Amino acid sequence: MNSNITNTLLVGSNGRIGKAICEHLINNNHNVFGIDIKNTKKKHENYIFSNVNITKSAQIDKFFDTNKKINFLNLIYCAYPFNKSWGTKFEKLNFKNLSENITSQLTSQIYFLKNFFNHSIKNKARVKVILFSSIQGLGSPKFEHYKSLNMGTPIEYSATKASVINITKYLAKYYKGYGYNINCISPGGIKDNQNKIFIKRYKKSSLNNGLLDPKDILSTVDFLISNKSKFINGQNIIVDDGWSI
């Protein structure tokens, strides 16, 4: 671990977006403290991985206790926990699975953030935080994109992603005067071997490109953790090739 560079805490470091951010930051003067339940990244001196299941409060507590002396300057939260029932059609939702998914995406995130900010206050760190919402958190889905394709986007996803936008605003204001920057990014859909018809429909609703590569989000991450965004706070930055306009 290099002690002269920025410590960035990255939750969901093994995901599509998380991996791209991780690779980018360790090559750009960050010690990345990655949290995930899986780790496929090769060892690197600037990458410190912790296996933490963020749906278990005791594991979150233990992580912050173990790392109490580490001065994290950035938090990027892009974990995406869900159970086996994820994607169930609206008509067939069951209370237990629905609650579990909403809890793992929202309760866990709020609890993690509580711990993170308590930790930052103890370490007197002026932190920059990036949460991840989605274009599905902005309004209703384009249901026509999924027609006859055995695909969809669950109502819980729209609910939790809309909440992330408001959690961002809440915390930005809650910590008025602390010198923090707390923002979120709403990416458009990311390429992931989707059905060709879906890709075509999706592209038709976009302006130039259609589905994104995880790398397309990196410049926005760089901007939000830099001092160039010093007076951008509580905002949702949409990176979606115009899909949502």
Ligand X SMILES: NC(=O)c1ccc[n+]([C@@H]2O[C@H](COP(=O)([O-])OP(=O)(O)OC[C@H]3O[C@@H](n4cnc5c(N)ncnc54)[C@H](O)[C@@H]3O)[C@@H](O)[C@H]2O)c1
Q: Which residues contact 112 (CB under 8 A, 6 or more apart)?
A: 11, 54, 60, 77
What is the spatial distance between Cα 160 and Cα 133, in angstroms, rounded to a whole number? 8
101 near ligand X (CB under 6 A):
no
**CA torsion 146→90→78→228, rounded to 10°?**
70
In the bound state with ligand X, the residue whose beta carbon lies nearer, of 16 and 201, is 16
Size of the site for ligand X (CB under 6 A): 21
189 near ligand X (CB under 6 A):
yes
Q: Which residues contact 159 (CB under 8 A, 6 or more apart)?
A: 102
Which residues ranging from 59 to 98 are in contact with ligand X (CB under 6 A)? 78-81
Judged by CB under 6 A, which of 22, 120, 128, 187 binds ligand X?
Answer: 187
Judged by CB under 6 A, which of 38, 68, 122, 147 binds ligand X?
Answer: 38
Closest separation in Å from C-beta 97 to ligand X? 15
Q: Which residues contact 49 (CB under 8 A, 6 or more apart)?
A: 13, 34, 35, 36, 39, 41
Name the strands in the sheet holding 128-132, side by side, starting at the edge strand that comes first in the sequence.
Answer: 47-51, 30-36, 6-11, 74-77, 128-132, 181-187, 236-239
Closest separation in Å from C-beta 211 to ligand X? 8
**x/- contact string, 118-157, with ligand X (CB under 6 A)?**
--------------x-x-----------------------
216 near ligand X (CB under 6 A):
no
Answer whether 202's CB lies under 8 Å from 102's CB: no
In the bound state with ligand X, the residue whose beta carbon lies nearer, of 98 and 190, is 190
Binding residues (CB under 6 A) for ligand X: these are 12, 14-18, 36-38, 53-55, 78-81, 132, 134, 187, 189-190
